[in-house]
Amino acid sequence: MAPKIPHAHARKPCGPSLPFDRPRRPMSGDGSRQCLESPMRAVSSVLVLALASCASSPKGSQGDAVRVIFTADEHGWLLGQWKKKEKKRLGGAELLMRELESIGYDPTRDLLLSGGDSWTGPALSTLLYGEPIIDLFNRLNYDAAALGNHEFDFGLEVLKRNQERAAFPMLAANVRWADASRKDRPYAGSTIVEAKGKKFGIIGLTNAETHKATAPHHVEKLRFEPYQGAIRREAKRLKEMGTDALVILMHDDAQLLKPMQQELQHLGLVAVLGGHIHRFDKAQMGGVAYCNPKDKLMEICVVTVKNGMGRLEVRSLESKDREIKHPWLKALISKSQSRLGALDTEVLGELKDPLHARETISESHLGQLVGISWLASVPAAKVAITNHGAIRQDLEPGQITRRHLRSIMPFDNDLVVVTLTKAQLKSAMENKQSLTTGADFRNGDLWVGGHPMAEDATVRVVVNSFMYAGGNDYEFKGFDPEGTLLHRSWRQPVAEFLKGMLARKEPLSRELLQQRWKALNP
């Protein structure tokens, strides 16, 4: 392991050196870090910094101001999203690296943090259990990350392995063991990072509803607590350790903590940085910045901290080109693609126009595709319900491969068939997450298969195993404790539906999906 480089070595960077090649600052507190640089590279970085001379002032934080740079809900988007119609790229690792260079990011003087949900998304990250994103964060010198609900998607052992791979701490102050007799904590709650002679206390919070937002069996050994108690405990401890400023990373809406601002400002609060809600939201209240950036690395929040006050700026990441300019990133992508090899490269179908993932079934073409496919695969069921949060991205025109399907539906769910009464089906459909095929509400009544459902009737419904286990507050297991687990991936019926269309040389289109979806409940 490379020696840790003392903060005193860091001077303002200039010359051709890239910020990602510079040494890290030391760290203290609960969090721990392993430096993954080789000793030779670390020494070379110090020499570059020591010998460089500046003809003019570089970009970056000036004077004694420290910048806190923040991303959240990265979801494995190394490549970003290319929008064909607009001819532009949104987000991705390449644009993040460009932006960091553009603003003069220096890992010895700036903080780089994440709000979690970093690796479940496109196949390039999901199929490799998030390892490429961990490597990216190591390369960019992230100082800390909050654990998001999707960090638990692959189970606690994979999370532990990723923690060991990471050169930065993953924080979760509000997570305890479900076994009350265990007094140790499963994850560090906070860490201290030094920059420009100031000590920054960083608290990380996992979403309090994580047990409902990932596969429940993956987190059955854990307990997720409310935020306030964990924040007070960690903030007080950090202040006693001599911190100058406090930053809170939370995998939830940052503005939920506004009621605590006055209390926490006495403990040095300058920023609350959030995620999970998948919408951009910001606020500036006095000297505290609140920011929830867009997901998939489409935005960064930059908080400039000076004299105990945080000033917020939000920067969008987009470009008109698709080029990967950074050799290291190009090598990471190539290596990851090679590891995938032929995995999931089978062509399943041909797409005529874009299909969107939306929150209502009438607008979610991909929700319609999932429902149609499930009902075709499970003839005994008359209704299909999936949760819109499980469909993670849009699908662009062109060939559809198994890898695309894995990116759209990245979670490892199986199909479950349940038998529901009319009242139970109504309750399930009213869940805000529900995308329903084969049933709808008409004039206040519930219709199934084109007919009003009788009050004393029951109907078989196919759902995914996440929902059956209680995810997103669904009650299917309580409704039908003897539900039938089909031991079949929820993606497989979609793959079979697409392959059937391909065999018939029938391209997939929005119009076709709409017609077939309506035909299931005329």
pLDDT tens profile 421-479 = 999 999 999 999 999 999 999 999 999 999 999 999 999 999 999 999 999 999 999 99
86's CB contacts (< 8 A; 6+ apart) are: none
Domains in the chain: ranges and CATH: 7-335 (3.60.21.10), 343-519 (3.90.780.10)
Asked if 411 and 120 touch (Cβ cutoff 8 Å), the reply is yes
At residue 190, the pLDDT reads 98
pLDDT digits (tens, 9 = 90+) for 73-94: 999 999 998 888 899 999 999 9
313's CB contacts (< 8 A; 6+ apart) are: 301, 302, 303, 304
- What kind and span of H or E run contains 446? strand 445-448
Give the Cα separation of 167 and 143 in Å (integer): 8
Give the Cα separation of 276 and 117 in Å (integer): 8
Helices (H), ranges, 6-63: 39-51
At residue 214, the pLDDT reads 82
* Rg for the chain, CA atoms, rounded: 24
Give the Cα separation of 438 and 33 in Å (integer): 52
Asked if 243 and 203 touch (Cβ cutoff 8 Å), the reply is no
Give the Cα separation of 175 and 189 in Å (integer): 8
Least confident of 12-21, 55-64, 254-263, 338-347: 12-21
pLDDT at residue 52 above 80? no
pLDDT band at 278 (very low <50, low <70, confident <90, very high): confident
At residue 92, the pLDDT reads 96
pLDDT band at 124 (very low <50, low <70, confident <90, very high): confident
Asked if 140 and 20 touch (Cβ cutoff 8 Å), the reply is yes
Give the Cα separation of 166 and 136 in Å (integer): 10
The mean pLDDT of 282-309, rounded to a whole number, is 95
At residue 340, the pLDDT reads 80
pLDDT at residue 291 above 90? yes
Least confident of 26-35, 99-108, 377-386: 26-35
pLDDT at residue 217 above 90? no
